[in-house]
Amino acid sequence: MTYEGGCLCGAVRYRIEGEPLSAGYCHCRMCQRAAGAPVVAWVAFPRADFRFVRGQPDRFRASARAVRRFCSQCGTALTFEYSGDTGTVDVTIASLDDPGAAEPMYQIWTSSRIPWLHLEGSGPAYEGDAPGTPRN
């Protein structure tokens, strides 16, 4: 499959040629602040299948173990990657041209879920990281 997406202003575009590994909602405070949104839906792909095809995003190291990339022109949150070589990249589902193409199947960091946000029927929920998949 080919997936394409990009930021709000169009300065940064990306393309993925491959299959998603997983998709889920993250309720952590860093995702909330980075996106200015109550929750962020992420889809993970093999790093080798992902590339930026237009523009260069800016990067922010939000914690010791991860880098977030975003458009320096319009601020759209685009990707999340671990500092270590996990071989994967997480992409914000809402930045895909077809956000319906990847559906979140779990929730992580529900310990910081905003109380008025309810996402029932979204699969298993974890108070912190899902087993084996830290995300902040």
Check if the beta carbon of residue 74 is closer than 8 Å to that of residue 7: yes
Check if the beta carbon of residue 41 is closer than 8 Å to that of residue 23: yes
In this structure, which amino acid lies at residue 1? Answer: M
In the shown chain, the binding pattern of residues 30 to 59 toward Zn ion, with x for contact by CB under 5 A and - for none, equals -x----------------------------
| Residue among 29 and 51 whose Cβ is closer to Zn ion | 29
Which part of the chain contacts Zn ion (CB under 5 A), choosing from 56-64, 82-90, 114-122, 127-135? 127-135
HEC assignment per residue over 48-101:
HHEEEEECCCEEEEEECCEEEEECCCCCCEEEEEECCCCCEEEEEHHHECCHHH
| Residue among 33 and 48 whose Cβ is closer to Zn ion | 33
51/66 Cα distance (integer angstroms): 18
Q: How far is the CB of 24 from Zn ion (least distance, A)?
A: 10
Q: Which of 28, 35, 43, 77 binds Zn ion (CB under 5 A)?
A: 28
| Residue among 74 and 117 whose Cβ is closer to Zn ion | 74
How many residues belong to the site for Zn ion (CB under 5 A)?
Answer: 10
| Residue among 16 and 30 whose Cβ is closer to Zn ion | 30
Q: Between residue 65 and residue 104, which ones bind Zn ion under the rule CB under 5 A?
A: 71, 73-74
Residues at the interface with Zn ion (CB under 5 A): 7, 9, 11, 26, 28, 31, 71, 73-74, 135
